[in-house]
Structure 1
Amino acid sequence: MTDQTTARFPQTPPDDVVVSDLNSSDPPPSPILGAASRDDDSPKVFPLGVMLLMMLIYTLNFFDRQILTILVEPIKADLDLSDSQIGAISGLAFALLYTAAGLPLARFADKTNRVHMISGALAVWSIFTIACGFTRSFGQMLLTRIGVGVGEAGCTPAAHSLITDYVPRHRRALALAMYQMGVPLGSLTGLVVGGILASTLGWRWAFFIAGAPGLLLAVIVPFVMKEPRRQASAAAAVHIPLRAGLAVLWRKRSFAYICVASGFSAFGFYGLSAFSGSLYIRTHPEQLGTLASSLGMAPTALLGVLLGLMVGICGGLGTFLGGFLSDRFARSSIANYVLFCAVAITAAAPLFTLVALASDMRVSLGLFGAALFCQTMSYGPVYAAIQTVAEPRMRGMAVAIQILFVNLIGLALGPLFVGVMSDLFTSWFGAIQGLRFAISLVGAPMLLSGLMFIHATRLVHREDAAAA
């Protein structure tokens, strides 16, 4: 499909001054790990080295973010926290400055060296992850998780913008899905390693060890990956004012619906994942204990392995297949990227509810894997749709706006909602049923997300027809 970016954004400077312009006939830059041509009509060279490195970075991102999930119960006991406070630490604290810093940092990513920015962000969130291990109170943990959020806010907008410059349009969903593979891989690593460390060295050492690899990789990244934009002409320094860029993006109703729909999808994912360890420890202690004893493992370590395998295998497979299949599904129209998301999220919604209500641990884990498979199939196509619609110099801003909604609606409110409802239901039904009923509610906003993606598909078709 022909890139219609210029037609959709006539008030911006010509795209021929931008390195990432897909219509440019200039030869591409040659970073150490290689880059694909920017011209979709030229021979395609998929930058596998770059994508593997970016996937590793995002894996550490989610490793440091999700390790808290398996550490909830020992942290709660040690620091004497309520489920509401756990919800605040798991989501609200992380999302507060992640959301506030996301847009300015994304704007910075649109006009600076993105490789250096990613390296710096990696170092910051790794340092604050290590600092989590030194906390002695709710307030201290809240502040350190805010610090982790600030560091991670500088990564994804710059990464998405950089990846989009490395790959042609028709491989974009696959490339972004490879990057998003960091979500299941990082979650797998965090759950497995966190569970083992929590049962052997304690939750503090789990944070110490989780943050260390990021500091090392932060030093390596600038030496093995180069910024394509550094070799651009001086004309590439022309940038769209923030207010004008926001106005252009937000006038596209399809973009607005995609952003809000992404937020409600994340509400369910983060609401469940933040309390997934607690769900099985509280709801299925006998089954978990019996299985752990038969394998000679501590229950927490076994649970980390089980949840990690579910997230890693099912989430990883869903992420990869979603990117791979949606690229083919969307060859005729980018609207099909959005339709693909609608189908995936609508299928996931009831599964998320059933995970909490299942009476057998094995059934619940199976449903957990199926729910993650369906939900993660939306990762590649939703970001591909956003990056394809956005004008080249606004790609960092576009993904930052989408991430802002993901964090405001999903990360900030999902875990907090489940924690508050768990405390409320516990006073009525007891601690076990209270948490189960609270988690079961996350299917409703996910269903709303699917409906909003369906409407966004119609809007993209209309906007394409109007721009033609």
Structure 2
Amino acid sequence: MPSDRNAQTTVPPASGATPSAGAWRVVVLLVPVALLNYMDRQMLAAMKFSVMADIPDIQLEANWGKILALFKWTYALMSPIGGYLADRFSRRHVIVFSLAAWSAITWATGQVQTYGELMATRAIMGISEAFYIPAALALIADYHAGPTRSRAVGLHQLGIYLGVIIGGFSGYAADHPSLGWRWLFDVCGVLGVVYAAPLFWALRNAPPRADVAAASGAPPGRALRELFGNLGFILLVLYFTLPAMAAWIVRDWMPAVLKAEFGIGQGKAGVSATLYWMVACIFGALAGGWLADRWSRRDVRGRIYTSAIGTVCVAVAMFGVGYSPQTGRLWVAVSFLVLFGWGWGFFDANNMPILCQVTRPHLRATGYGLMNMVSISCGGLADWFFGILRDQRVPLLAIFGIFSVVALLSVSLVLLIQPRQRDDPPAMTGP
């Protein structure tokens, strides 16, 4: 095995291998799972007022923030475990298990009657979802060795964005007298169960690679020592965390903010807070993936530069969204949300590809799980902190300004990362 020093200084040339149709089929199979995962998250935010009216013992905005935060904290705590299991055993099995568990808990969420029960289901939901993303992105990276990696990750993220878009419309269903917020959770739970069986049949793990076969199955202590002894990985964890705090605020609080600040209905607020910036995310992820793949052929830091451009857009947009209520015009807020989505697409499409440049293949799911643990833990604190500041009537511009500055500062962190490698060696041949 090459020494860490050699790995730090050697950057192999890019591989020109073109992935097979099966590599793209894996991405397409995973898009619906990502869609369901994020649809669930956005539904709760978009139907906030209906849920709080139906479960009156929630009472305070800070308590609502705790519900959002508890999901993130359990998700964060379990992410490294889910990632490690996906690295050590079968990524396919971890993904399908996550979907089956998600389906059961989604259905159960529609049955809750008290604040405590809702807290419990969101905590368990965080556990089930924590097993999905690290395994899914690592599996995509296994199949896409380099020249298409950012595009493949960007395509998978479309499922996330579509899930948030569809979830954003859930406020209309919550307001409908014959449907309501519980109905949507029941439907999504059934859809997840229906999709789990064909996914298990169609999804396959990637063939092993020559540099992974000997290292797979590394004990947890060795994996942690290698990751946290890697400065590039530590910088990526911090960079992954800081802009994500802003994104959680936009996802979880923006429907309620737009309703309160612009005096619009719950349905319109949910759509305005999700549809436009999520559509921008789609185009941003596709453009950011394409740009990063092309740029990385000429410069090993191309993915890093592409991501940094996106984060600057996120920082500018956060300040603009905070300022928009002072204009009294909803379209101003929506315009800055579109800029946020464009930048987020650049950022989102390149986190796993950058991770692949600083860690070895058998640690990718574990590494991404650790990134999720830190990022989402801080996201939970951000949600809770935001609720407290809203209860204290702190001006929206000041709150969003804090998150804007934090996102902007993170750009310096990603620019300090020194890639260890560009692309993976070819997969092993054989059955």
The two structures share one fold, judged by TM-score above 0.5: yes
Distance 1:247 1:324, change over 3 A: same
Give how far 1:451 is off: 2.7
- List runs of 5+ in structure 2 lacking aligned partners: 423-431
Give the 3-state SS of the residue equivalent to 2:298 in structure 1.
coil
TM (normalized to structure 2)? 0.88
Paired residue for 2:71, among 88, 94, 109? 94
Distance 1:439 1:127, change over 3 A: farther
Give the 3-state SS of the residue equivalent to 1:331 in structure 2.
helix
Q: CA RMSD in A?
A: 2.7
Give how far 1:241 is off: 2.1
Paired residue for 2:347, among 363, 378, 381? 378
Give how far 1:237 is off: 7.9
Instruction: Tell me the equivalent position of 2:393.
Output: 425
Distance 1:381 1:348, change over 3 A: same
State the AA in 1 paired with 2:24. L
Matches within 5 A, 1:60-459: 60-80=36-56, 81-90=59-68, 92-192=69-169, 194-200=170-176, 201-229=179-207, 238-285=216-263, 288=264, 299-358=265-324, 359=327, 360-410=329-379, 412-425=380-393, 434=395, 437-456=398-417
Give how far 1:454 is off: 2.6
State the AA in 2 paired with 1:406. S
State the AA in 1 paired with 2:107. I
CA distance in 1: counterparts of 2:356 and 2:102, whole angstroms:
25
CA distance in 1: counterparts of 2:112 and 2:294, whole angstroms:
48
State the AA in 1 paired with 2:153. L
Q: Residue deviations 1:213-232, cap 9 Å, x none?
A: 11211122111122235999
Contact 1:59/1:185 (CA < 8 Å) preserved in 2? yes
State the AA in 2 paired with 1:397. T
CA distance in 1: counterparts of 2:303 and 2:114, whole angstroms:
45
Instruction: Tell me the equivalent position of 1:291.
Output: none
Distance 1:240 1:10, change over 3 A: farther
CA distance in 1: counterparts of 2:281 and 2:421, whole angstroms:
32
Give the 3-state SS of the residue equivalent to 2:54 in structure 1.
helix
Distance 1:423 1:51, change over 3 A: same
Give how far 1:42 is off: 4.2
Distance 1:235 1:453, change over 3 A: closer
Give how far 1:256 is off: 0.6
Give how far 1:96 is off: 1.9
Distance 1:210 1:421, change over 3 A: same
Q: Residue deviations 1:349-380, cap 9 Å, x none?
A: 12112213213111111111111211221111
Give how far 1:409 is off: 1.7
Instruction: Tell me the equivalent position of 2:25.
Output: 49
Aligned length: 410
Moved more, 105-114 or 439-448: 439-448
CA distance in 1: counterparts of 2:137 and 2:125, whole angstroms:
20
CA distance in 1: counterparts of 2:409 and 2:17, whole angstroms:
41
TM (normalized to structure 1)? 0.81
CA distance in 1: counterparts of 2:281 and 2:273, whole angstroms:
11
Contact 1:187/1:311 (CA < 8 Å) preserved in 2? no
CA distance in 2: counterparts of 1:253 and 1:390, whole angstroms:
11
Give the 3-state SS of the residue equivalent to 2:349 in structure 1.
helix
Sequence identity percentage: 22
CA distance in 1: counterparts of 2:364 and 2:6, whole angstroms:
16
Structure with bigger RCO (C-alpha 8 Å, 6+ apart): 2
Distance 1:248 1:235, change over 3 A: closer
Contact 1:327/1:381 (CA < 8 Å) preserved in 2? no
